[in-house]
A and B are shown apart, each in its own frame.
Chain A
Amino acid sequence: MNSFWNGKRRFVALLMFLAGVFVALEVPPVIPFIQLPGEKFPEGFDIPFTGIRWTNTMVGSVIVWVVLLLFVVYVSRRRPKDGNEAPPGGFYYLFEVLFEGLMGFVGGIAGGRHFRVIFNMFMTIFLVVLMANWMELVPGVDTIGFIHPHVKEKYDAEKDEYKLVTTDGYEIYQGFLGISYVNGQCNWISPADEAAADEAALASADAARLAAMDEQAVKAAYARYQAAHNGHGDEHAAETTAEADEASAAYDEVLAARVAEKQARADRGCHTGVATAPWQDGYEPYDKTKAKGISLHPDPSSEEAKLVPWVVLPFVRVPSTDLNMTLTIALISFVMIQYIGFKALGIGYLTKFFNFGTLFKSPLGGIDVAVGLLELIGDFAKILSFSFRLLGNIFAGSILLFVMSFLIPILPWPFFILEFFVGVIQALVFALLTAIFMNLATISHHHDDDHDHDEAH
């Protein structure tokens, strides 16, 4: 490894850095529109024979399974048939190191009669969660996808009609290589909001003019005007004009701020909802009937596209950022914990939860019952804590990567390294806790010989 990076090959790092600079300049980074549930694909992307629409986290899980399957096929083909054969080398060694290391690790924690079941469960969960977590480091995940308009159909009960509701989003442009990009510099503002802002600017400009030339000042000016007409010099007339100028300057100043705001938006290449403002010539108020005619999927290059906000719907999203995936693995782990409990202790496993045996025998029997019920609740709480721990960590991690890629688009590497380790630790914690709880379930509540058997190892 060291020899690879010595000498001339260091230019690879420089090239990557330059590519980062180029891409950051050519395609300005965007803060993605963050959604907690997995995003549904557009119509027509159903899972065959089910009628269920694909979500991008489902695509992520399918990729995880396919990668793991290939991994299994590779390793089982490369495995030496007997000890005398030469080791195949390469990637296979990595697997052996991982396998043997973790086998010793789990053996130290749960090395008992049920070691094989526990270790199978541990390794499966570890590999699945690890692959799922590491997906957030792959370029293109969470960033490449359908560009789709962020509009929803909403039923208006009062008028008994459906209308399109627009929410947050960005404008789009056709850029580098003719691909449509979401424009991170232009938050989408609805034409109606834009028109309302124009009207508000006009109203506040009027208010400013009135403030500069309030009623008393008008009266005084009129008096001076009268006096001037009655023959005493032109000085007062000049004063009146100055006052009127001041009022109109105040009016212009407020409007200029709004004009500058619109100009700044236009300079960044963004649309403004209405081409002109009410105080300019050729003012066209926004036509509300237009909004009803917008199709849910307009052509990105059409004029209609300017009337709706756009967001990216990634093809692939990290599966562990979807509660469905984490909850599923948590349920599997919960079921396996109960299964191995029953397998090891038989029906007696239930005395862990419903411990009425000592109720009338010992003075503290009531406490045993309460402790058993607490254990029952605690077992169900495991589902919650397993699923939320993984979801929270990985979802927060991917938001961290989004934000850091937005703030420092050319140097977000340290955070990718951080997320690399978070992915390993979370996978390890998930699998390890499952192994430990499974081991605990096999140990009898009463200190009988089964317990001693486990201790012996």
Chain B
Amino acid sequence: MDPQSTIILGKAIGAGLAMIGAAGGGIGIGLAVGGAVQAMGRNPDHTPTIQTNMILGVAFAEAVAIYALVVSLIILFVLS
């Protein structure tokens, strides 16, 4: 295989592996939103508070997935 193809192959596999990290963020967001929706269902009066905290929690969980995304974007578009 010529070097150019090897580089592309390595980049593609690396970027794909880096995105495995997004799974954790997905699980985290699912748990947070699931919990928040249950809480809102039981306690509709407190919806604004719950929503704010949910968005915060989701943002924190998402940040980890976004790190994985940034790493894979850097592998794809910056490494050469």
Given contacts A36-B74, A396-B73, whether A425 and B55 have CB atoms under 8 Å apart is yes
Kindly identify which residue among A34, A37, A388, A428 contacts B55, using a CB–CB cutoff of 8 Å.
Answer: A428
Cα–Cα, bound, A385→B62 (Å): 10
Chain A, residue nearest B62 (CB)? A389
A112 to chain B, nearest CB (A): 16
B49 to chain A, nearest CB (A): 7
- Is A392 located at the chain interface by the 8 A CB criterion? yes
B48-71 toward A: CB 8 Å interface, digit per residue (1/0)?
A: 110010011001001100110110
A2-19 toward B: CB 8 Å interface, digit per residue (1/0)?
A: 000000000000000000
B70–A392 touching, CB < 8 Å? yes
- Residues of chain A within 8 A (CB-CB) of B74 are 36
B73–A395 touching, CB < 8 Å? yes
- Is B78 located at the chain interface by the 8 A CB criterion? yes
Chain A, residue nearest B69 (CB)? A392
Kindly identify which residue among A34, A429, A432 contacts B77, using a CB–CB cutoff of 8 Å.
Answer: A34
Cα–Cα, bound, A391→B77 (Å): 14
B42 to chain A, nearest CB (A): 21
Given contacts A35-B77, A37-B78, whether A393 and B66 have CB atoms under 8 Å apart is yes
Kindly identify which residue among B48, B67, B76, B78 contacts A388, using a CB–CB cutoff of 8 Å.
Answer: B67
A380-391 toward B: CB 8 Å interface, digit per residue (1/0)?
A: 000001001101
A392–B52 touching, CB < 8 Å? no
B55–A392 touching, CB < 8 Å? no
- Residues of chain A within 8 A (CB-CB) of B76 are 34
A392–B59 touching, CB < 8 Å? no
A108–B73 touching, CB < 8 Å? no
Kindly identify which residue among A35, A392, A436 contacts B66, using a CB–CB cutoff of 8 Å.
Answer: A392
- Is A109 located at the chain interface by the 8 A CB criterion? yes
Kindly identify which residue among B52, B55, B63, B77 contacts A389, using a CB–CB cutoff of 8 Å.
Answer: B63
B55 to chain A, nearest CB (A): 7
A432–B55 touching, CB < 8 Å? yes
B49–A392 touching, CB < 8 Å? no
- Among A37, A392, A396, the most chain B Cβ lie within 10 Å of the Cβ of A392
- Among B56, B67, B70, the most chain A Cβ lie within 10 Å of the Cβ of B70
A392–B56 touching, CB < 8 Å? no
A392–B73 touching, CB < 8 Å? yes
Cα–Cα, bound, A395→B71 (Å): 12
- Residues of chain B within 8 A (CB-CB) of A429 are 55-56, 59
- Residues of chain B within 8 A (CB-CB) of A391 are 70
A108–B52 touching, CB < 8 Å? yes
B56–A436 touching, CB < 8 Å? yes
Chain B, residue nearest A109 (CB)? B52
B15-55 toward A: CB 8 Å interface, digit per residue (1/0)?
A: 00000000000000000000000000000000011001001
- Is A25 located at the chain interface by the 8 A CB criterion? no
Interface residues of A (CB under 8 A from B): 34-37, 105, 108-109, 385, 388-389, 391-393, 395-396, 425, 428-429, 432-433, 436
Interface residues of B (CB under 8 A from A): 48-49, 52, 55-56, 59, 62-63, 66-67, 69-70, 73-74, 76-78
The 4 closest A-B pairs by CB, nearest first: A392-B66, A429-B59, A392-B70, A392-B69
